[in-house]
Amino acid sequence: MTGTERKGVLVNRKFYQYLGPMLLSELAISLNEFVDGIIVSQLLGSDAMSMVGMASPVMYVFAVIYIILGVGGSAAYAEYSGMQKKEKADRLFSVVFASSVGISAFIATVGMICLRPLAPLMCADTVILPEFTSYLAVTIISGVLIIPLQVLINCFAAFGYPQIGTKLNLAANAINLVMDYVFIHYFHTGVKGAAMATFSGYLIALMWFILLLPGRKVSVPLRKISLKDVVLVREAAGKGVAMSLNQLGYAIKTFFGNSLSMTLAGIEGVTIFTLCMQSISIISIAMGGVVEAMVPIGAALKGQKDFKGIKILLRTAMIAQFIACLVCTAGVELFPQIFLYMYNYSGADTAAADLGIRIFSLVFIFRGFVLIFMYYFQIVSRKLYASFVSIYDGFAGLIPIAMILTGAFGIRGLWMAFPAVSLSELIIIILANLYISAHSGGKYHGLLLVETEDESVPVYDVTVQLDTEDISDTVVSLQRFCESNDVDQRTSVMIALSLEEMISYMLDNKEHSISCDEVDILAKIREDNIMMDIRSIGTPLDPTTAPVSEYSNVEVLKKVAQKLEYAYVVGMNQTRIMVRRDCEARS
């Protein structure tokens, strides 16, 4: 039996609170690719842009690592916080961050040792090889800053402060754009200046953060770690492996696309393919912002076993990404010439480039849904499913489909292959989800495969206004719900009293700690106890540390509850109250 008056106000508001900073953060990252390419091509020409494209697999490798550790670590941290395991969450972050520093240093060392044999493998043109080698060297060294800082930026979302990560990304990439012009135009460094600008941006942003950290109210939750904590890295990586495989697949399909377009249409084909891949930078702002906002919130809801909250979150995320992708696709379809002009494209076949970008942009309509499912499957620990989606989207679907379509349509088949892959994968996911749901014995329901609540555990799940009248009605309603589900009267009164005293404490601090008038209440009647989670949005408000001399409601709450726990989870206050069902509540 379930008591449900749940609304999506809190989850949706938190999602949109995260979406803004995440969009800005993705914008900053995409500026490093998108505007960087424009500046380089405008100052140095299309050959320089091609060199940037040839070295892009190195940046993809960096991204694979910081996605595994950063996105995976953020999801794992949020899930442990949702489970009220803050100390373990802090240790997980600490070992993940330390690993990012060690791995980035190792890559830089090995990369510089192998630079001379590596550069010719990535650049077959002997004329530009010396300049490319210099650019590649600085790019490899930049990893010692890019990887750890991006891990930290990703984890700030799980700490509940996504705006700090956004500020770091904005600072690093804004400085990068300025230094692009300075190095290339004033110091005549050539394409190497673009890599030097990236390094400078991350270095200055890191120094700025370190200098300002002592004065911040926000702390980085670093703890002392030991060798036994290394196992937590594997746990974090498990949450990020599908996303990292997708990034690795992106590098593979870029390499494959460069090779195939060179074979089919020469350097002109490579340039058009590079333009098409650069267009992904635009839409990745929207798609990346949505999924990055969704991941920490979804992981926290999973830790709390809030299945209805997960369903609300997924629906909101899908609607947001679809609208954004549709707008971006329409823009490219209607005004492809603007895109070509931004990249200073003046190739022999402008009509072919125009057509190629228009066909390619159709991928945006379908791929957003694919990414939502991929990230969601990873959050809920469907690792194999998420990995399949990632690998198919990355290269396993593209290579055979592209070979078939290019055989039939020439170079146009390559542009057609990208939307064909995303559409076919979305159809596979829908059919697979319906099959899993139908054969799960009721464990999962719907197209989203949201886990079904245990029917043997009565659930009281409501959203209420934080005002005296609404709360009074809810307290009475909760007591009646417990009594109707075979909870003795005294225990029912105790859990209702716990809610009343907790809400009273929140009302006392509403002016300076609560930023949303709605509160989510999730109570589950279990065999031995009643567990109730009370969630609100605002600054940290911890009843476990509140002085009882100042708050009589907290004193009563601590006496009534068997266990009182608090966690600040992705910017939301979560208080967990447990009351025994054996009527031995303390008095």
- What average pLDDT does this structure show over 213-230? 78
**Partners of 525 in beta bridges:** 530
Give the pLDDT score at 546. Answer: 86
Is 552 within the bounds of a domain? yes
Give the pLDDT score at 446. Answer: 79
Q: Half-sphere exposure (CA, 13 Å, Cβ side) for 53? A: 26
Q: Half-sphere exposure (CA, 13 Å, Cβ side) for 168? A: 27
Give the pLDDT score at 199. Answer: 95
Give the pLDDT score at 373. Answer: 93
Give the confidence band of 285 by pLDDT, cuts at 50, 70, 90. confident
**Which whole-number Å values give the CA distances from 40 to 14, 72, 239, in the listed order?**
38, 33, 36
Is 448 within the bounds of a domain? no
417 and 499, same domain (yes or no): no
- Where does a domain end: 379, 406, 438? 438
Give the confidence band of 346 by pLDDT, cuts at 50, 70, 90. low
Is 373 within the bounds of a domain? yes
Q: What radius of gyration, in Å, describes the C-alpha atoms of the chain?
A: 26
227 and 320, same domain (yes or no): yes
| Dist CA 296 CA 82 (whole Å) | 10
Give the pLDDT score at 28. Answer: 75
Residue 564 tokens, joined: 């009182």
Give the confidence band of 584 by pLDDT, cuts at 50, 70, 90. very low
| Dist CA 255 CA 277 (whole Å) | 11
- Of 288, 283, 286, 299, the C-alpha closest to 376 is 299
Q: Which residues contact 467 (CB under 8 A, 6 or more apart)?
A: 517
Is 450 within the bounds of a domain? no
239 and 354, same domain (yes or no): yes
**Which whole-number Å values give the CA distances from 504 to 108, 434, 562, in the listed order?**
56, 45, 19
110 and 18, same domain (yes or no): yes
Is 320 within the bounds of a domain? yes
431 and 360, same domain (yes or no): yes
378 and 250, same domain (yes or no): yes
Write out pLDDT tens, residues 362-374: 888 898 899 999 9
Residue 446 tokens, joined: 């719907």
Give the pLDDT score at 585. Answer: 42
| Dist CA 159 CA 89 (whole Å) | 10
What CATH number corresponds to the domain at position 530? 3.30.565.10
Entry pTM: 0.82
43 and 157, same domain (yes or no): yes
Residue 304 tokens, joined: 């709390």
Residue 160 has pLDDT above 90, yes or no: no
- What average pLDDT does this structure show over 470-493? 89
Angle ∠(161,244,180) on CA atoms, nearest 5: 70
Write out pLDDT tens, residues 428-477: 999 999 999 988 888 888 788 888 877 788 999 999 888 777 788 889 99
- What average pLDDT does this structure show over 102-130? 91
Beta strands in 77-212 (DSSP E): none
358-377: b or e for each residue (b if 16 or more CB lie within 10 Å)? bbbbbbbbbbbbbbbbbbbb
- What average pLDDT does this structure show over 251-264? 85
Is 311 within the bounds of a domain? yes
- What average pLDDT does this structure show over 47-70? 85
Mean pLDDT of the chain: 86
397 and 472, same domain (yes or no): no
Give the confidence band of 32 by pLDDT, cuts at 50, 70, 90. low
Residue 46 has pLDDT above 80, yes or no: no
| Dist CA 172 CA 25 (whole Å) | 10
Angle ∠(101,175,291) on CA atoms, nearest 5: 60
Among 40-49, 485-494, 531-540, the range scoring the smallest mean pLDDT is: 40-49
Q: Half-sphere exposure (CA, 13 Å, Cβ side) for 76? A: 29
Look at the chain and report how many structural domains it folds into: 2
Give the pLDDT score at 520. Answer: 92
Give the pLDDT score at 586. Answer: 39
469 and 426, same domain (yes or no): no
- What average pLDDT does this structure show over 539-554? 85
Contacts 24+ apart (CB under 8 A), 110-119: 111/58, 111/140, 111/141, 111/143, 112/137, 112/140, 112/141, 115/140
Among 29-33, 228-232, 524-528, the range scoring the smallest mean pLDDT is: 29-33
Residue 413 has pLDDT above 70, yes or no: yes
Give the confidence band of 12 by pLDDT, cuts at 50, 70, 90. very high
| Dist CA 316 CA 308 (whole Å) | 13
| Dist CA 200 CA 189 (whole Å) | 14
| Dist CA 32 CA 22 (whole Å) | 16
Write out pLDDT tens, residues 390-410: 999 988 999 999 999 999 999
Q: Which residues contact 79 (CB under 8 A, 6 or more apart)?
A: 239, 299, 300, 302, 303
Give the confidence band of 587 by pLDDT, cuts at 50, 70, 90. very low
Write out pLDDT tens, residues 292-343: 899 999 999 998 888 889 989 999 999 999 998 888 888 888 887 776 766 6
Q: Half-sphere exposure (CA, 13 Å, Cβ side) for 229? A: 18
Q: Write the DSSP assignment of 276-297 as a string of letters.
A: HHHHHHHHHHHHHHHHHHHHHH
- What average pLDDT does this structure show over 130-155? 94
87 and 125, same domain (yes or no): yes
Residue 415 has pLDDT above 50, yes or no: yes
383 and 474, same domain (yes or no): no
Residue 581 has pLDDT above 50, yes or no: yes
Give the confidence band of 142 by pLDDT, cuts at 50, 70, 90. very high
Range of the domain at 534: 459-580
Give the pLDDT score at 5. Answer: 77
Is 447 within the bounds of a domain? no
Give the confidence band of 262 by pLDDT, cuts at 50, 70, 90. confident
- What average pLDDT does this structure show over 495-503? 90
Contact 115, 136 (CB under 8 A): yes
Is 496 within the bounds of a domain? yes
Residue 143 has pLDDT above 90, yes or no: yes
Residue 89 has pLDDT above 50, yes or no: yes
Give the pLDDT score at 213. Answer: 66
Residue 195 has pLDDT above 70, yes or no: yes
Q: Which residues contact 340 (CB under 8 A, 6 or more apart)?
A: 275, 350, 353, 354, 357
Could you tell me which residue, 186 or 513, shows the higher pLDDT?
Answer: 186
395 and 345, same domain (yes or no): yes
Give the confidence band of 196 by pLDDT, cuts at 50, 70, 90. very high
Residue 270 has pLDDT above 60, yes or no: yes
What does residue 302 show for φ and ψ, rounded to 5 degrees? -65, -45
